[in-house]
Amino acid sequence: MGEYVGGAVGMPGDGVSRIGDLGRASRHARPGGSVDEPADHRTHVNGAPLAGHGGATTPTIDSRTGTGRHAAPAAGVGSGTGRIAAAQAPDPEVKGPPPELRFKRRTSLFRGIRELWHSRELVRTLAERDLKARYKQAVLGFAWAIITPVLLMLVFTIVFQRVGNLSETAHKYDVPYPLFSYLGLLPWTFFMSSVTQGSSSLVSNGPLLNKVYCPREVFPFATVIVATVDMLIASSVLVVLFAAYTTPPAATMWALPILLLIQFEVTLGVVLVLSAAVVYFRDIRHVLPLLMQMGMFATPVAYGMDQITKDWLLPYVISNPLAAVIDGYRRSILYGQQPDWELTGAAGASATVLLIVGYKIFKKLEAGIADVA
């Protein structure tokens, strides 16, 4: 009786049919000795199921006898579910890109200053635009830069001079309290205006950020320039106050450039940090007005440094360098004294560290500003 072997019919002992079947099987053999599925999609060879058709074994060809034998399939082979699981299994060897291919953003203070200097015309243009936009169609125009500190001076004079001992320092040095308080309001108004406007400078210039390449710090820096112009305009009131009280400024005003430098460092450092932070955390804009009000009472604007305990003066100045700046203005302009150089030095060091750290934070966050703003 004939025997069905691999699709060929032959008589027992007929070696030709077996050899022919062996040749056909070898042409479809996979690497490793397994038999691939023939073109006619047969599911069995020699009565044994092929791989992928519900069988647990894979038929192979015995080189000694020429007959089929069964071998256990490799892992993940033999069923569709096994292949998918093997494909989806995480490779323990993959641990991300090598360190030399990872992106590292390096910042340089001197390179940033150089780029900012090359963009000075853009800073000037942005400052002019902000000044025109702020006072455009305003009846009083630039007079608003004077009204705010003058009204606060009147409130301090009427209220704080009568309540508590806040005006004790002014009486101690025999200087008019309006002059005393206005010299504290000038740097504080400059700081408050710079922080309030500068914190939203990147968000408000979002369309421009996506169209023009420039150092991103030009936008907060332009707001500081605008606040500087406002402070210079408001300083004209000092001339009127000195004339009204017949009190000339002291001869120790030569220390003003040092105090102005510290004031700019503190302001620019805070503005850089907040302007970048507001891009990612918009809630900061709602908290800033409250922080500004609290900061005005935490800074010796309406009172003098004599109200601070001596043991806490140095930590207080390090944490709030603007306090030493205000006290230095009063000493050098009203009291006829040199600034307290110990406190001024601590404030200068703290302001410099704040500016460097603020710039570093700003440059680290700069890469995603255009995408989020």
Q: Taking residues 17-31, what's their average pLDDT?
A: 46
CB 171 within 8 A of CB 257: no
Please tell me which residue, 314 or 56, carries the higher pLDDT value: 314
Bridge partners (DSSP) listed for residue 61: 68
pTM for the structure as a whole: 0.68
CB 182 within 8 A of CB 149: yes
Q: Which residue from 341, 181, 192 is spatially nearest to 263, judged by alpha carbons?
A: 192
CA 5, distance to chain mean position in Å, is 74
pLDDT tens, position by position, 258-292: 999 999 999 999 999 999 888 888 888 888 989 99
CA atoms within 13 A on the CB side of 163: 7
Q: With pLDDT > 90 as the criterion, what percentage of the chain qualifies?
A: 28
Amino acid residing at 333: I
Give the Cβ contact number of residue 92 at 10 Å.
Answer: 6
pLDDT tens, position by position, 46-66: 555 554 444 444 454 454 444
Amino acid residing at 185: L
Element (H, E) at 68: strand 68-71
